[in-house]
Amino acid sequence: MKFALFGNTYQTKKSAHIATLLETLHAYGAELYIDREFYIFLPEELTRKYPPHGIFEGGDFDADMVISMGGDGTFLKSAMRVGNRNIPILGINTGRLGFLADISPEEIKETFHEICNGHYQVEDRSVLHLHNDGLPARGYPYALNEIAVLKRDSSSMISIHTHINGALLTTYQADGLVISTPTGSTAYSLSVGGPIMVPHADTIAITPVAPHSLNIRPIVVRDDWEITLEVESRSHNFLVAIDGRSESYQEGIRLTITKADYCIKVVKRYNHIFFKTLREKMMWGGSLIEI
């Protein structure tokens, strides 16, 4: 198999995990191509011992599978680089929580034994697409996790006029609004009180950030519906964060969010069940500590 490797350049000190990965791929005779940004941070003794078949930059790569080595943030960056190319992504977690990157370093050898023997599954994850009222796209307008509209340069709340398929939902008076996929429901959306959605749900969650009214609650809608946002702000500008990549926008721009015409393919081991991952990551059912 042919693999393309992306990694977190701030975690190369965890070279033991990287060594295990390179050694394992070498043992299976796999072709390995490494993102240049990650390659230059790898320990020199590792690249001498296990030289890659090639180094690539940007989107100039081809592979049967992409390996993302880091946390969920690294996985999101890898997904951005893969885009609509239908290359499945495997996430090895050397970060913290790890919902997307859910393979632990201790599972590397066993996981690649399964992969090289064709024993794995691929899940399709929906993606959001941001349209900027006819303006040219700023950067990469697709989100695997969420699109967030947030206040900027002011302590005052912003007003977000929200329409679903052209019909008024409400005007949110809040610090912001998070539009989340099921994949992103355990990320930023969860931290501001959004619902957890199973990855295969055909839904989108709309969750306000610090709303002015306690009556305002998150709402879940179908993912084939169109969401339109118009923002008013005392500072006349606001932020739009797409999977954490933020841009400043001027008041008066209409934002439209739809489901993208492609999915991100996520590699999963057969024994990695979402509900099991949820229990472990959220520590549900853990015993209370007696004081």
The phi and psi torsions of 164 (rounded to 5 degrees) equal -115, 120
Question: Per-residue confidence at 134, pLDDT binned at 50, 70, 90?
Answer: low
Range of the domain at 24: 2-125+263-282
Q: Is residue 288 part of a domain?
A: no
Any alpha helices (H) in the chain, and if so which ranges? 15-27, 36-39, 44-49, 72-82, 108-116, 188-191, 274-282
Predicted confidence at residue 197, as pLDDT, reads 97
First to last CA, the chain: 53
d(CA 211, CA 149): 13
Q: What is the mean pLDDT of the chain?
A: 92
Average pLDDT over residues 177-203: 96
Domain shared by 135 and 229, yes or no: yes
d(CA 175, CA 231): 11
Predicted confidence at residue 286, as pLDDT, reads 65
**Report field, pTM of the whole predicted structure over 0.85:** yes
CATH for 69 = 3.40.50.10330
Q: Is residue 70 part of a domain?
A: yes
In the predicted structure, residue 281 carries a pLDDT above the cut 90: no
Domain shared by 169 and 180, yes or no: yes
In the predicted structure, residue 153 carries a pLDDT above the cut 90: no
Question: Per-residue confidence at 291, pLDDT binned at 50, 70, 90?
Answer: low
Give 52-91 pLDDT, tens digit per residue.
999 999 888 999 999 999 999 999 999 999 999 999 999 9
C-alpha 13: how far from its chain's center?
24
Q: Is residue 162 part of a domain?
A: yes
Average pLDDT over residues 148-172: 94
Query: Cβ(249)–Cβ(176) under 8 Å?
Result: no
> Which of 152, 134, 108 lies closest to 249 in space, CA to CA?
152
Domain shared by 240 and 268, yes or no: no
Domain shared by 134 and 253, yes or no: yes
d(CA 58, CA 6): 11
DSSP 223: T
On the CB side of 127, CA atoms within 13 Å amount to: 24
Question: Per-residue confidence at 277, pLDDT binned at 50, 70, 90?
Answer: confident
Domain shared by 207 and 154, yes or no: yes
Give 18-32 pLDDT, tens digit per residue.
999 999 999 999 999
Domain shared by 176 and 225, yes or no: yes
In the predicted structure, residue 177 carries a pLDDT above the cut 80: yes
Predicted confidence at residue 155, as pLDDT, reads 77
SS3 13: coil
Domain shared by 89 and 133, yes or no: no
Predicted confidence at residue 13, as pLDDT, reads 59
Q: Is residue 154 part of a domain?
A: yes
Domain shared by 102 and 9, yes or no: yes
In the predicted structure, residue 138 carries a pLDDT above the cut 80: no
Domain shared by 121 and 167, yes or no: no
Question: Per-residue confidence at 288, pLDDT binned at 50, 70, 90?
Answer: low
Q: Is 72 a catalytic residue?
A: yes
Domain shared by 155 and 251, yes or no: yes
Average pLDDT over residues 253-270: 96
In the predicted structure, residue 129 carries a pLDDT above the cut 60: yes
Residues of the chain with pLDDT > 70, as a percent, come to 95
Q: Is residue 226 part of a domain?
A: yes
Give 231-255 pLDDT, tens digit per residue.
999 999 999 999 999 999 999 899 9
Q: Is residue 72 part of a domain?
A: yes
In the predicted structure, residue 290 carries a pLDDT above the cut 70: no
Predicted confidence at residue 16, as pLDDT, reads 85
CATH for 182 = 2.60.200.30
Q: Which of 72, 102, 175, 223 is catalytic?
A: 72
Longest dimension (CA), the chain: 61
DSSP 216: -
d(CA 120, CA 118): 6
Domain shared by 63 and 120, yes or no: yes
Total domains in the chain come to 2
Q: Is residue 290 part of a domain?
A: no
Predicted confidence at residue 11, as pLDDT, reads 60
